[in-house]
């Protein structure tokens, strides 16, 4: 590992952080296609005007991050460096372990985008009740639902 390689880590992370800061500007946006639905536009990709330019930040040809934004959601795809066979296997197994438990992680995607190893996806106003669609305005409504269904039914 050349000493030069280590000097790209800090600028790489800073560049990713700055780009995320720009892309993570989200607002709640109900679906324009189906009423009373609130879908992550970066996943559905139904309307061109709601999507941002996808942007890549690469440290070298093996490690890169793809950031796709939209009006209410952002998807970050990470390609992890895998130097040899054993690292490839370990990475694959570890990612699979986490992605199988994506429901508990909330922001993990179950399948990585083509060419990358793992995806993190988040949506404005869509996190608290993954099973309830519809309008997100309702701290009050959510409270009523919680009372009806009990605190552990989430």
Partner 1 sequence: MSKQAASARFRRVDVDEYDENKFVDEEDGGENQLGPDEAEVDSLIRQGNLMEALHAVLKNPPINTKNQNVKDRAEGLVLKVLSSFKSSDIEKGVQSLDKNGVDLLMKYIYKGFERPSENSSAVLLQWHEKALAAGGVGSIVRVLTARKTV
Residue 72 has φ and ψ, to the nearest 5°, of: -125, 0
25 lines the binding site for partner 1 (CB under 8 A): yes
15 lines the binding site for partner 1 (CB under 8 A): yes
Nearest to 53 by CA among 23, 16, 20: 23
Q: CB 18 → partner 1: shortest distance, Å?
A: 5
18 lines the binding site for partner 1 (CB under 8 A): yes
Looking at residues 37 to 66 of the shown chain, list those that interact with partner 1 (rule: CB under 8 A): 47-49, 52-53, 55-61, 64
DSSP tag of 152: T
34 lines the binding site for partner 1 (CB under 8 A): no
Specify whether the backbone of 30 is left (phi greater than 0), alpha (psi in -120 to 50) or beta. beta
Looking at residues 65 to 84 of the shown chain, list those that interact with partner 1 (rule: CB under 8 A): 69
> Cβ contacts of residue 98 below 8 Å, gap of 6+?
105, 108, 118
Binding segment toward partner 1, per CB under 8 A, in 14-22, 92-100, 123-131, 135-143: 14-22
d(CA 88, CA 106): 25
Q: CB 129 → partner 1: shortest distance, Å?
A: 29
Structure tokens at 138: 């309702």
Structure tokens at 13: 């992370």
Size of the site for partner 1 (CB under 8 A): 27
114 lines the binding site for partner 1 (CB under 8 A): no
Residues that bind partner 1 (CB under 8 A): 4, 7-8, 11-12, 14-15, 18-19, 21-23, 25, 47-49, 52-53, 55-61, 64, 69
């Amino acid at each position: 590992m050349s000493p030069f390689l280590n000097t790209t880590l800090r600028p790489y992370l800073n560049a990713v952080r700055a780009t995320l800061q720009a892309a993570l500007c989200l607002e709640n946006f109900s679906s324009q296609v189906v009423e009373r639905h609130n879908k992550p536009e970066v996943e559905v990709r139904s309307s061109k005007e709601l999507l941002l330019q996808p942007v890549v930040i690469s440290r070298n040809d093996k490690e890169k991050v793809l950031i796709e934004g939209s009006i209410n959601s952002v998807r970050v795809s990470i390609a992890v460096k895998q130097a040899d066979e054993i690292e490839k296997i370990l990475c694959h197994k570890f990612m699979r372990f986490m992605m199988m438990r994506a429901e508990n992680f909330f922001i993990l995607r179950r399948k990585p985008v083509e060419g990358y190893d793992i995806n993190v996806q988040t949506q404005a106003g869509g996190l608290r009740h993954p099973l309830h669609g519809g309008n997100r305005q309702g701290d009050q409504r959510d409270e009523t639902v919680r009372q009806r269904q009990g605190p552990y039914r989430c």
